[in-house]
């Protein structure tokens, strides 16, 4: 009987952990809303010329690649050549912890981090039959 009780306790513990893990990610609708908000904030920071905030919205690897390529800190590099604003949001696709936000003249790719959704690539244009070409991207 002790073995059955221990097995049930373990099973219940696993179920609680799984529920907490799934719940922490949110529903697809919640994740879409979060991606929309991250996209809106990124676009607003670009419009305001708030490049320090733009850099904070970028994924760490993207900041690292931008600084390495430009040979200057992120905000300075963006001040020299910031991507244009993408216009109206046309759609959001979310796949687990990855997302794509399609704007009128840009496509952003995002990943979910502990601190929230971050821009992994921006200034992206679609190329039929080939990967997107992105002005800003992680390494």
Q: Is residue 59 part of a domain?
A: yes
Averaged confidence pLDDT in the chain: 85
Determine if residue 116 is left, alpha or beta; phi over 0 gives left, psi from -120 to 50 gives alpha, anything else beta: left
Domain that holds residue 126: 26-137
The domain tally of the chain equals: 1
Q: Are the CB atoms for 129 and 137 separated by under 8 Å?
A: no
Q: Which residue has the tokens 């979310």?
A: 94
Q: How far apart are CA 55 and CA 47, in angstroms?
A: 14
Q: Are the CB atoms for 19 and 12 separated by under 8 Å?
A: no
Q: Is residue 60 part of a domain?
A: yes
Q: Is residue 16 part of a domain?
A: no
Q: Is residue 84 part of a domain?
A: yes
Q: Is residue 109 part of a domain?
A: yes
Give me the pLDDT at residue 83, please: 81
pLDDT in tens, 15-27: 333 333 344 468 8
pLDDT in tens, 72-88: 999 999 988 888 889 99
SS3 state of residue 119: strand
Give the mean model confidence (pLDDT) for residues 60-80.
95
Give me the pLDDT at residue 25, please: 61
Alpha carbon distances (Å) from 128 to 93, 110, 124, 125, 133: 18, 21, 13, 10, 11
pLDDT in tens, 124-139: 999 999 999 999 998 7
Give the mean model confidence (pLDDT) for residues 48-52.
95
Where residue 126 sits, what CATH number does that domain have?
3.10.450
Give me the pLDDT at residue 6, please: 40
């Amino acid at each position: 009987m002790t073995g059955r009780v221990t097995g049930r306790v373990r099973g219940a513990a696993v179920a609680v952990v799984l529920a907490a893990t799934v719940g922490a990610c949110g529903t697809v609708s919640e994740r879409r809303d979060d991606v929309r908000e991250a996209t809106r904030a990124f676009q607003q920071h670009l419009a305001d010329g708030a490049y320090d905030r733009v850099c904070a919205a970028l994924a760490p690897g993207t900041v690292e690649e931008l600084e390495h390529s430009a040979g200057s800190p992120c905000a300075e590099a963006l001040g020299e050549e910031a991507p244009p604003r993408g216009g109206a949001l046309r759609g959001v696709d979310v796949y687990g912890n990855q997302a794509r936000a399609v704007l009128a003249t840009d496509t952003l790719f995002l990943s979910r981090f502990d601190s929230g959704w971050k821009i992994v690539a921006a200034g992206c244009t679609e190329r039929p039959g080939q990967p997107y070409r992105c002005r800003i991207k992680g390494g």
